[in-house]
Structure 1
Amino acid sequence: MEKDKILVLDTETTGFLPDAEVLQVSILDGNGTVRMNEYFRPDHTSAWPGAMAVNHITLAMVADKPSIGERKEEISHLLRHAEAVVGYNIFFDLKMLRQNGIFVPGRSHLRAIDIMGPFSDKYGEEKDLPLNKYGHYKYQKLITCAAYYGYDGGGWHDSLADTKATLFCFWKMVEDGTVKI
């Protein structure tokens, strides 16, 4: 698979529930080229204190930004022309995009590669961590994955910083055989 056909994606949102709105979308291609990094003004949400405590995105930061609907064709176009989309908990990000009106191709047209599960299994096995009640290792945070692979970036919970860390970890995991492309 060509690196420019791989997209690495992350979102920051107003929350996790079905009414949550996207506040930031960052997309890199497999070469690390920024294809999108944009903040969005929510259409219906005027406060998100819980999410703001994590992502530090304030209403003032997005007040003059476009709504995601104004960029939905651009985001959908990027996804339609990719062969794979990679992320750390990518299924949450794709759900948030769909929930906010973005067309996300189905699995027969776009392969979604979530590196959180494979990393958490690798990390749990190597650390001899206990399994949870469902027989799986506890999911690890992106910062743990990045530290494990020697990534020295920062700015956590900014979608561009998280996307850069995810891209770095993805290629390390491909290299060590944890993830197959």
Structure 2
Amino acid sequence: MITRMYAVIDTETTGLSPKYHHRIAEIGVVLVDGGGRIEHEWSTLVNPDRDLGPQRIHGIRAADARRAPRFEDLAAHLVELLRGRTLVAHNLPFDLTFLEAEYARLGTAFPANRSHGLCTMNLASSYLPGAGRSLAECCAAAGIALGGWHSASADARATADLLSHFLGRSQPPYPWSAVAERAVNTPWPELAPRVFSTASRATRSMSIPGGGGGGGLVAGIVDYLPRVSGSEVADPYLAVLDAALADRYLSADEIAALGALAGSLGLTATDTDRLHRDYVDALARVALADHVLTDDERADLATIVTLLELPAGTDAEALARATGGATTSELSLTLDDLVVFTGEFDEPRSVWMERATAVGLRVHNAVTKKVSLVIAADVDSLSGKAKKARGYGIRVVSLEEFEKALAMGVAARAEV
């Protein structure tokens, strides 16, 4: 019987890839038992012996990092925290890449890989259908409070709460039982412990000139992209890409680091080109969601195309596809169509859900790429469901349009 179950980890880093000398600047670990209960929490800032990189994102002050232990000081303690446990992280491939590099600097192989751990970002597609990729989106969908976002301790705690939520929606044996067996039998190195003191962030707030993210079309565009099926690394890569593009600027170092990250995840140039084009397509759909394309939105699209080194005209092609998807043709319904309702109607929403079910439609609570239609109390709704539907290219219609389609009847689904 496995007694030491999960070690939930989160890192804040100085950049996107250790191949370009980026380091861990903060690490948090939350130990969780088999029932999802927290056993122990530990975190510390880490002195990376270099500049801190995107301080506007992680908010770590150089004055605080300077008094923190170096990774070699805490490496042995971290091994003992992780030994015999299944590693869990929200974007596990990213965190593992940095842990592998830090231990390699010490001449020690980090023994765990993706087959020894769980990525809550990937698990969310099964347990939180319709939720975005980001930790904030997943926590919101699960009703979990997320405080101190982008601190390793807060993010590790929120990820542990997500894991507990998933455990509560499963029954043993869990789908990841084989992963847990591999993890418990993994031989970890024996490292000589060092005496060190943890360091935490200063309680005062940090203000970085020019910080706070960019003023682009939408924050977190990646949450409006359909999840990539059949790949455990595409979604983690897109999440990192989205964070890197938040300020609508990519330095040469960031571009190279993104390429290195893609390589470490096993993504080919063809894979990343497709993902970058999908990202631009989603941005175009969101830009046209209100049927108006402003000069700022057009410029933002062009900027992203340039930053991602996509061919000239990619933004125009994306806008053309988005316009083509925003059809105004007469609405027709088909048996077993998956539909979602959003907003407050004159009659209770439950009444309309029953009417839809009665004619052979399937009502869903969340927007996923399998949804055929979203019925909104206000067709220009800014609800999360409506915004996500537009990002996915799913039609959003008024209740009046839906009523008219119901009156015309529901067609039988064609045999495949």
Fold shared per TM-score above 0.5: yes
Match of 2:47? Answer: 41
Alignment of 1:1-181 (within 5 A): 4-17=4-17, 18=19, 19-30=21-32, 31-43=37-49, 45-48=50-53, 50=54, 52-79=55-82, 81-101=83-103, 103-107=109-113, 111-120=116-125, 123=128, 125-126=129-130, 140-177=133-170, 180-181=175-176
Match of 1:132? Answer: none
Does the 8 Å CA contact 2:46/2:70 hold for their aligned counterparts? yes
Does the 8 Å CA contact 2:57/2:150 hold for their aligned counterparts? yes
Please, which runs of 5 or more residues in structure 1 have no aligned partner? 128-138
C-alpha separation in 1, matches of 2:65 and 2:122: 32
CA drift of 1:60 comes to 1.1
CA drift of 1:35 comes to 4.3
Does the 8 Å CA contact 2:14/2:24 hold for their aligned counterparts? yes
C-alpha separation in 2, matches of 1:140 and 1:91: 14
Which structure has the higher relative contact order (CA within 8 Å, separation 6+)? Answer: 1
CA drift of 1:91 comes to 1.7
- Residue aligned with 2:167, SS: helix
Q: Give the number of the structure whose residues are more often strand, by fraction.
A: 1
Please give the per-residue CA displacement for 1:117-174, whole angstroms capped at 9, x wherever unaligned.
Answer: 1214655x547xxxxxxxxxxx610000001110123110001100111011112122
Match of 1:133? Answer: none
Q: Which amino acid aligns with 1:156?
A: W
C-alpha separation in 2, matches of 1:83 and 1:154: 26
C-alpha separation in 2, matches of 1:15 and 1:175: 35
CA drift of 1:107 comes to 4.7
- Residue aligned with 1:144, SS: helix
C-alpha separation in 1, matches of 2:3 and 2:162: 15
Q: Which amino acid aligns with 2:142?
A: Y
- Residue aligned with 1:29, SS: strand
More displaced stretch, 111-120 vs 9-18: 111-120
Change over 3 Å in CA distance of 1:2–1:160 after alignment to 2: farther
C-alpha separation in 2, matches of 1:3 and 1:86: 16
Q: Which amino acid aligns with 1:67?
A: R
Larger Rg: 2
CA drift of 1:175 comes to 2.2
Please give the per-residue CA displacement for 1:28-86, whole angstroms capped at 9, x wherever unaligned.
Answer: 1113233421111112x1241x2x1111012111111111111111112322x223011
Q: Which amino acid aligns with 2:155?
A: D
Match of 1:131? Answer: none
Please, which runs of 5 or more residues in structure 2 have no aligned partner? 177-416
